[in-house]
């Protein structure tokens, strides 16, 4: 798997002193509905919290060395393409991390 980060995202993470990213599925009210992939920056204290939870699924994927930390996956049911790209978008000053190449598992 080839993981890349946009220059904007690298600058944003460096400015905020963030070294870890969490990838999970956004929870929906409808089970059969479309699931969104949620990408969020994670502080060191948050990493310790979800690593210490007894029954939580946590695993890392390669590519975190570009940001000086780890990329944590905390949901089962995610598919990763060969190329994964992380980016940051801004709307009215609110930052939104995005990922291309990661999707909820779907039957084909």
Kindly report the CATH number assigned to the domain that includes residue 27.
2.60.300
Query: pLDDT tens per residue, the chain (108 residues)?
Result: 899 999 999 999 999 999 999 998 876 555 555 567 889 998 888 888 878 877 678 889 999 999 999 999 988 888 899 999 999 999 898 999 999 999 887 665
Cα separation, 64 vs 22, whole angstroms: 11
* Host domain of residue 78: 2-104
Q: How many domains does the chain have?
A: 1
- pTM comes to 0.84
The contacts of residue 9 (CB under 8 Å, 6+ apart) are 86, 87, 88, 97
């Amino acid at each position: 798997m080839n993981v890349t980060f946009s220059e904007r995202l690298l600058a944003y993470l460096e400015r905020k002193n963030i070294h870890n990213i969490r990838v999970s599925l956004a929870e929906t009210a409808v089970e059969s509905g479309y699931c969104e992939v949620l990408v969020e920056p994670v502080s060191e204290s948050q990493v310790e919290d979800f690593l210490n939870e007894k029954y939580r699924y946590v695993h890392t994927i390669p590519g975190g060395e570009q940001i000086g930390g780890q990329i944590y996956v905390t949901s089962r049911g995610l598919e990763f393409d060969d190329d994964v790209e992380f980016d940051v978008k801004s709307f009215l000053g609110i930052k939104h991390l995005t990922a291309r190449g990661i999707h909820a598992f779907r039957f084909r």
